[in-house]
Structures are given as C-alpha cells and as structure tokens.
Amino acid sequence: MTMGLTAFSTLVLVCLVLTACAPVILIGLWLKDFISKQIW
Amino acid sequence: MTEASGFALSSTLGLTLVVLFGLAWVLFGWYLGRANKTHEDFALAGRNVGFALASATAMATWVTSNTTLVAPQLTYQFGVWGMVGYSFAALGLILFAPLAARIKRLMPNGYTSGDFVRLRYGQSAWWAFILISVVYAFGWLISLGMAGGILLEALSGLDYHIGMTAILIICVGYTLFGGLRAVIATDFIQALIIILGVVLIAWFLIDTVSLETIHSEVQDNHPQLLDLLFPAAIMFLFNNIFFGLGEIFHSNVWWSRALAFKGSVAFKAYLLGGVLWLPIPIVTGFIALAAPQLGIFPPSADMVGPMVAAEVLGKIGAVVVFIVVFSALASSLDSLLAATSDLVTRDIYHKKLKPDAGDKHLLRFNRYSILGLGILTWLFCLPKIATLGALLNFAGAFVASTIFPIVLGLYNRRLSGRYAALAMTLGTLSGLAGYFVVGFYVAALVSCSVSALICGLGLLLSKHKFDWQQLNEQEEHSA
Amino acid sequence: MPNRYGFISYIALFLLFTLLARPVAAQDTMTQFTLSAPEQSREGYFVLALDQAPLRGMVVQQSSQADFIKIDAEFVWFGDFEKMTLTGFSDGNFYFRLKPAENVQSNVVGVTVTHYPSWQAYTLFFTGLGLFILLVITIITLHLRSRDTKVAEVQDD
C-alpha cells in the first residue's frame, strides 16, 4: 500500500501551516503574560 | 553546494556563527541569572513561570536532535512512517499534562523526580530509579554533544571535535550563570528561531523542488519509502512511542519544569507544548525524501536533514539550518544539564551526603555539578561511538520501565516500593535482553510490558496504603 | 561559583587547543578503492564504505547481477565523505561497484535485502497498541477519579 501524491502533499502542507501558526500563538501568549505581569 | 570542498559553509563562517551565538546566549544567561538569590530560584526559577514561557519551554526542549536530525534520519530510513511515527512522540508531552498537574499538587515543595521516588517508594526503588536516570541523562547528553559535532561537520566540514566542544561550552556557560530561569528564557527564543527556521526551509524546498517531483522520484526509485506497510517501520512505531513516554515521565527535565510552572499552568502548558510540537517532525522529516532527487546520499543517515536543506538553499539556507539545529540542540542540552545537576545536588548530595547543607552551599554545589557534568559529557563525546539513533534506543530499555511505576505511584496508594523497584529493575533487564537478543526495535516495548505486568501484580497482591501527605516534605535546613 | 574571568579565559584556551588539533585532510589520489557493505539488510537501507577518501565525481553503480550486464541505478558520490547511505530498497539482491574510469577501480559488493516478515511486524505493532491503550485508559481514569474525589489530605495551591 503506497501513499499517494494527494495524501502526501496534504499531510506536509497541513503540518507546515500548523507549524507556522505556533510562533503567533507563543508571541500572543507572551504579550498577554507581559501585560498582566505574569511572565515569571 | 557552494564551496569547492563540497560543504555548504566555510569552516570560518561556521565557527563565527558558533562564537556569536555562544556569546549572545551566555550574556543573556548572565543577565537573567542576576535575579537568582536562592537555590530554589536557581533550580526552579522561583516556581512561578507563566503560561507563555512554560509552553515554549515544553515545546523547545522536546525539539532536540530528535526532530532536527533524527526525524529526517528516520524518514530517510523508514519513509513516511518514519516522520509520522516520530510526530507521535508528542503524545509524551500531551499525556504528561495531567501528571504534571498532579505532581504540582502533591509536591508543592518538591525539587526533583528523585524526591518523588524516594518519598513514595523508598530506598530500593530510588536506587533503581537513579541508575536509570543517570544512564538516560548521559545517553542524551552525549547524543546531543555528538549531534553538535556532527552538525558542524556536515555543514562546514569543520572537525567533529570542535562543534562538540563548542556547544558544550556554550550551554554549560549560560546554564551556570542563569540556572533554570536562563534555560527557560533561552528556550522561548530558541523555540521561535526553530519554528521560523524550519518553516522557512520547508517552504523554500517545496518552492524549489515541489512536492510532486519529490513524490514521483521516491515512488519510481525508492518505493519502499512510501509503503504504508513497511515492516521495519511498523515494528518501530510503538517502541518509539514508549521510549518517548518513558523519557518524559521519568526525567527530571520534565518534573523540574512541572514544579517550576505557576499554579495551574502545568497542565495547559504541557498540553499546548505537545500540540505545537506534533506537526514539527513531519515538516523537518519530509525534506529527507528530497535527498535522492537531489543526488544526496549522506555518509550517515542522521546527516541527511541538514545536508538537503543546505543543498537546496545554498549558503543562506545553510546558515539558517545551522542556527536552527544549534538552537534545538542548545534548548535540550541546557535543560538536561540543569535538570541533571539538580538531581545530583538534591538527591545525591543534599539527601545522601550533606543533609545539613545550607542554601548558599547547595547553590554553589549545583553550579559545580553543572560544570562537572559538562566536562564528563565532553570526555564521553571525544570518541564518536555510535550513530545517534543506536545510542538513544539503548536508553529506551531503561526509561520505558519507569512509565507504569510513575503513573501508578502518582495516583494509586496501593503499589508498594518493593513492586515498583522490581518493575523498574526487571523491566530494564528484560528490555536490554530484548535489545541484544531480538533487536533495538523491541527494547522499550519489552521493558514497558514487563514493568506493567509487575505493577499489575503489585496492585493485586499488595496491601500497602500510602499516605499522600508524606510527599509534601518540609525542608530541614534554613537558608 | 568559579572565578568568572578565569573561566572565560579557560574557555578561550580550550577552543584554541581544539582548533589546533584539527586533522589535515588527506590529499592523496589512488586508483584502487575497496568498497565494503553489510551482506544483509533487514530494513532496506545500508551504508557503503570506501577504504579511503573519494575522488571528485566518482559514481557508484547498482545492478541486480554480479557481472553488471544491466546497470539499474547510478549514484554520484557525495562530498568527500568515505561513506554513503542508500535507502528504500525492496527485497532482493543488489550489487554495487564504482563506475570504472581511467583513475578509478573497485571491487564488487553484494547486499541482500530481506525485510522483516509481516507477522513479526504486526505482532509487535498490536502488542504496542494494546499496551498503549491500557496506559491511556489508566491515566485518564486515574486522573478523572483523583479530580472527582478531591483528595482531602492533599493541599491545593
């Protein structure tokens, strides 16, 4: 059973988009902590 | 390849990057370390780390040579299952989330995972646990040091020993000055660098080579890599998952974080860290499938990731790869140095050798043990012993035996120390037997199965009733 | 804590010593190479190794016959590494040699790829799956129970 092109591309692209969202989430959370003085 | 020597970067540029990054991290560590007044500040960052830094450190520490060097390696060896299987290691972080919340609740004054095992299970289990922890910590420290050397060698042709020495000096440097606070703060920045770099490399690769070309080349000439029923890959899958679970559940790297995070942050942070980590091995792994298309056949499979990226993106790409992998290695190495030195200081020095040591004394000893661990790791890394994967799989036999004793110990009063010790010892021994008799791919699986069986027996036969209050140990010394 | 300035100068010295210890790259060119490879591979990947540093542009040929009547694939030797990892092979016998040229010659090595039998793979897969499900159920059940019963003797933050 071989993985087809569609499945392969979808897997890689979805993971790429999810990974790209991570810095936005982390920086957003940091700003929230920073404003409410909750960093440490 | 831009240089006549066949390497993406010149040795001088490689070394310059190392020195610049090294100086930046060490200065940052020193800056953060000024806030450390007590041993608790140094070892546990004042037990008050917020959600953003907590999630980033959980994610960044787990992004290690595993994701930047070994994920492409496994994809190159086992194809699609290699990268998908690797991303399942995120389950370790996700499943640790409830445990972390429980740890924080049961041991508001605890320091290490060794503390827990000593108080919950007693001496014999503690010895088994410390042995497992030490073997694992050194296995990981050595593999990270070696990965630093391999990275520099792959990208710039610089001698293995220089890269290895440099990364050790840098991480020891800033951990020594800043303690866990420096480790966590650098992790946040390293997490951002890693993710941005990884996305950039993957994006450029898709743009240059295209997923269609990669897929058709692999399908035509290396069909096994797209096979979803690849026997070795299927066999490897759960062994790898149990190895990851064992690593996280037992290691003080993760326990000290759980204890350092603010109140209710532990659960959320591990959960988010795991979810953010999940797609990363696929993004770093798939680039290995472009290797045949590009005519790259690496000397050892763990070098394939950096080599492909450097080949596709040229000199700038090589610089990006270099910074990403270096950050990934540093974010794990610093955590491991800090957590292991806490274990040495708290569990061995304070609890066994010098129970009356004061706070200043412990703080000083903790710093010496970071330095000592760095030197020991350096000595072990000098001869380049095995490939990264082999070294890590060997440790799988050890850590997987701790999964059930830890989980049951945190929630169940009945499991006694004798059964926990037996589960860890026999689990490890049978895992090692599996490793040598059958193969590396059963070590963690056998170890975890045997340990689970003994824990099950323990639950059935033991009449023990543990008092949770014993875990909340009060400090004997005054600061 | 050790003296900071002393420590920094030690770091610098350390780096300098390691730099000086760099081995000099081999420059010799030889014509006869000895190629080596494992006889068997269970995973479909293996490492070909040379006994000395490769020459620029050297090519490895692959064939299913020891006499190389038909060449199935060619791989350009990458960089100046002495090893090369090949991957993605299905079951079968594979022979390798360096493509004969004016200044390059080598022996022929054979690798037999036999993947693990399916029964072995699936047994391990389902054993692992079973154990994993057991672990997940244990954690979820215990965690929910501990939350519901609100252990009185454990202090909350």
pLDDT value at C23 more than 60: no
Has residue C148 got a pLDDT over 80? no
Q: What share of chain C is helix, strand, coil (3-state, %, to 5)?
A: 30, 25, 45
Going by beta carbons, is chain C in contact with chain A, meaning 3 or more pairs sit under 8 Å apart?
no
- CA distance linking residue B253 with residue B398, whole number of Å: 16
For residue B419, is pLDDT > 70?
Answer: yes
Residues B286-327 pLDDT 10s = 999 999 988 889 888 888 888 888 788 778 878 888 888 888
Instruction: Give the pLDDT band of residue B139 (cuts 50, 70, 90).
Output: confident
Name which of B51, B202, B203 is nearest A29 (Cβ-Cβ).
B51
pLDDT digit string, tens, across residues B225-236: 999 999 989 988
Q: Given a cut of 70, is residue B479 above it in pLDDT?
A: no
Q: Is residue C1 part of a domain?
A: no
Q: Supply the pLDDT for residue B361.
A: 93
Q: Assign B224 to helix, strand or coil.
A: helix
Task: Write the residue in B5, B77, B299 that is nearest to C84 by C-beta.
Answer: B299
Residue B153 has pLDDT above 90, yes or no: no
Q: Do residue A2 and residue B227 have CB atoms under 8 angstroms apart?
A: yes
CB atoms within 10 A of CB C75: 19
Going by pLDDT thresholds of 50, 70 and 90, the confidence category of residue A7 is very high
Q: Which of residues 316-335 of B touch C (CB under 8 A)?
A: none
Q: Verify that C42 and C68 share a domain, yes or no.
A: yes
**Phi/psi at B418 (5° precision):** -60, -45
Cα B320 to Cα B302: distance, rounded to the nearest angstrom: 18
Query: Quick check: is B134 in a domain?
Result: yes
Based on the domain organization, do C42 and C57 belong to the same domain?
A: yes
Question: Could you give the number of structural domains in chain B?
Answer: 1
Decide if C92 is inside a domain.
yes
End-to-end CA, chain B: 58
| Rounded Cα–Cα distance for residues B104 and B245 (Å) | 19
**Confidence at residue B327, expressed as pLDDT on a 0 to 100 scale:** 86
Put simply, the answer to whether C89 touches B224 (Cβ < 8 Å) is yes
According to the model, what pLDDT value does residue B388 have? 52
pLDDT of C22 > 50? The answer is no
The answer to whether residue B117 scores a pLDDT higher than 90 is yes
What's phi and psi for A3, nearest 5 deg?
-80, 125
Give per-residue pLDDT as tens, C37-86: 999 998 899 999 999 888 888 999 999 999 999 999 899 888 778 899 99
* Model pLDDT, residue B326: 85
Q: In this predicted model, which residue has the larger pLDDT, C107 or B310?
A: C107
Kindly list the residues from chain A whose CB atom is less than 8 angstroms away from the CB atom of residue B202. 12, 16, 19
What is the predicted pLDDT for the residue at B3? 40
pLDDT band at B473 (very low <50, low <70, confident <90, very high): confident
Check residues B202 and C157 and name the one with the higher pLDDT: B202
pLDDT at res. B284: 92
Residue B305 CB: number of other CB atoms within 10 A?
30
- Alpha carbon distance B248, B339 (integer Å): 12
Match 């006869």 to its residue by tokens: C32
Say what the pLDDT of residue B69 is: 76
- Edge-to-edge order in the sheet of strand C46-50: C35-36, C46-50, C83-86
Task: Return left, alpha or beta for B232; rule: phi > 0 is left, psi -120 to 50 is alpha, else beta.
Answer: alpha
pLDDT tops 90 at residue B80: yes
Q: Is residue B242 part of a domain?
A: yes
DSSP letter string over C41-64?
A: ESSS-EEEEESSPPPTT-EEEEES
Is residue B468 situated within a structural domain?
no
My answer on whether C45 and C73 are in the same domain is yes
Note whether C39 and C77 are same-domain residues: yes
Q: Cβ separation of B95 and C120 shorter than 8 Å? A: no
For residue C12, is it within any domain?
no
Cβ within 8 Å, pair C81-B468: no
B chain contacts of residue C116, beta-carbon cutoff 8 Å: 231-232, 235
Q: Is residue B433 part of a domain?
A: no
Average pLDDT on B235-262 reads 93
Q: Pick the closest to residue B203 from A18, A4, A13 (CA basis).
A: A13
Higher pLDDT, C63 or C27: C63
Query: Do C105 and C37 share a structural domain?
Result: yes
Inter-chain CB pairs, A–B, below 8 Å: 98
Asked whether residue B377 is assigned to any structural domain, the reply reads yes
pLDDT, tens only, B390-414: 566 688 999 999 999 999 999 999 9
Q: What is the CATH number of the domain that holds B212?
A: 1.20.1730.10
**Summary mean pLDDT of chain B:** 89
The CATH number for C54's domain is 2.60.40.10
Quote the number of domains for chain C: 2
CB B32 within 8 A of CB B182: yes
Write out the two tokens for B307: 């080599």
- Put simply, whether B412 touches C (Cβ < 8 Å) is yes
The complex's ipTM? 0.94
Helices (H) and strands (E) in chain B, counts: 22, 0
| Res. C5: pLDDT tops 80 | no
**Cβ atoms of residues B426 and B450 within 8 Å:** yes
* Separation of alpha carbons B128 and C111, rounded Å: 42
Examine the pLDDT at C153 and tell me if it is beyond 60.
no
In the complex, which subunits touch C with 3 or more CB pairs below 8 angstroms? B
**pLDDT tens readout for residues B183-212:** 999 988 988 998 999 899 999 999 989 999
pLDDT for residue C27 is more than 60: no
Residue B479 is assigned to a structural domain of this protein: no
Domain assignment present for residue C3? The answer is: no
Q: Containing domain of residue C65, as a range?
A: 32-113
Residues B165-169 have a mean pLDDT of 92
- Is C18 inside a domain boundary? no
Are C38 and C57 members of one domain?
A: yes
Which residue of chain B is at minimal alpha-carbon distance from A21? B276
Encode burial over B34-49: b for 16+ CB neighbours within 10 A, e otherwise: eebeebbbbbbbbbeb
Q: Which domain holds residue B357?
A: 11-387
Considering the domain architecture, whether residues C147 and C93 belong to the same structural domain is answered as no
Cα–Cα distance, B29 to B17 (Å, whole number):
18
Rounded CA gap, C61 and C106, in Å? 11
Work out the end-to-end distance of chain A between its first and last CA atoms, rounded to an integer number of angstroms: 51
Average pLDDT score over residue span B449-471: 93
Task: Give yes or no: residues C40 and C108 share one domain.
Answer: yes
Helices assigned H by DSSP within B34-70: 39-44, 51-62, 65
**The residue to which tokens 């990363």 are assigned:** B280
Other beta carbons within 10 angstroms of residue B355's beta carbon come to 10
User: What's the mean per-residue pLDDT of chain C?
Assistant: 81
Q: Is A3 on the interface with B (CB under 8 A)?
A: yes
Locate tokens 């001496």: which residue? B123
- Percent share of chain C, pLDDT over 90: 54
Output the pLDDT for position C31: 65
Q: Are residues C60 and C108 in the same domain?
A: yes
C155 pLDDT more than 80: no
Q: Which residues of B touch C78 (CB under 8 A)?
A: 6, 295-299, 307
